[in-house]
């Protein structure tokens, strides 16, 4: 039996270990970090990662929901790679702390999946 303190295996990782993980753009530059994961209530599937971009000491951050399939884990940088540049990410749909429920809105999700050219999960 695995140690109870273990929070990942070769194929699995705890969501608490994903939160805060760096996200890098196509050019290799760090563009933000994972703030949280969106999980389908009934199916249990991770659908989106909310990535925090910009700001200083937690002020002025913008959040981007990204289809989970757009993020690829890279062991070389111990973070996720996104096949877009920071400018492409910044031009995508965003929300801030005051409008967190936006990530749950279907119209917002349509804009996100369209912006990144990904078929919606629904």
The band of 8, judged by pLDDT with boundaries at 50, 70 and 90, is: low
Which pLDDT score, from 0 to 100, does residue 98 have?
85
Nearest CA among 53, 48, 36 for reference residue 110: 48
> Per residue in 46-60, pLDDT tens?
999 999 988 766 667
> Per residue in 15-36, pLDDT tens?
888 999 999 998 899 999 999 9
CA–CA separation, 92 and 122 (whole Å): 20
> Per residue in 62-104, pLDDT tens?
899 999 999 999 999 999 999 887 778 889 999 988 888 898 9
Which pLDDT score, from 0 to 100, does residue 3 have?
47
- Beta-strand relationship, 22-24 and 30-39: antiparallel
Which pLDDT score, from 0 to 100, does residue 14 have?
85
């Amino acid at each position: 039996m695995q140690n109870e303190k273990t929070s990942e295996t070769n194929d699995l990782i705890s969501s608490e270990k994903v939160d805060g993980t760096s996200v890098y753009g196509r050019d290799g530059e760090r563009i933000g970090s994972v703030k949280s994961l969106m999980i389908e209530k009934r199916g249990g599937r991770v659908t989106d990662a909310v990535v925090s971009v910009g700001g200083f000491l937690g002020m002025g951050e913008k959040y981007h929901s990204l289809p989970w399939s757009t993020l690829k884990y890279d062991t070389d940088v111990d973070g996720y790679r996104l096949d877009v540049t920071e400018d492409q990410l910044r031009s995508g749909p965003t929300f801030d702390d005051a409008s967190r429920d936006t990530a749950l809105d279907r119209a917002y999700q349509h804009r996100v999946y369209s912006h990144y050219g990904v078929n919606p999960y629904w």
